[in-house]
Amino acid sequence: MRDREFREDPSPREERRRPDGRETEGERRRRRAQFLRDLAEARELRDRVQPRRVKAARLRHAMRMRTFRW
């Protein structure tokens, strides 16, 4: 598993917000990128601990691809 820094204190990021309290586009993109990294890591972990489920999902996906019509 990758070692990462977890930032529990959101206060440094509060300084980058607009005066009206809304977040900037860059902050939203950073949060989204972090969320997607965490999601991918969770999926990898699930795949490692439940190989049977992964195999079944792979077979279902292959069946969908075979029956898909262009």
Whole-number pLDDT of residue 15: 55
- The mean per-residue pLDDT over the stretch 63-69 comes to 87
User: CA-CA distance, 69 to 61, in Å (whole number)?
Assistant: 14
- The mean per-residue pLDDT over the stretch 12-33 comes to 80
What residues does each domain of the chain span? 23-67
pTM: 0.52
Whole-number pLDDT of residue 56: 93
The string of DSSP codes covering 1-70 is: ----------HHHHTTS-TTSPPPHHHHHHHHHHHHHHHHHHHHHHHHH-HHHHHHHHHHHHHHHHH---
Give 2's contacts (C-beta < 8 A, 6+ positions apart): 41
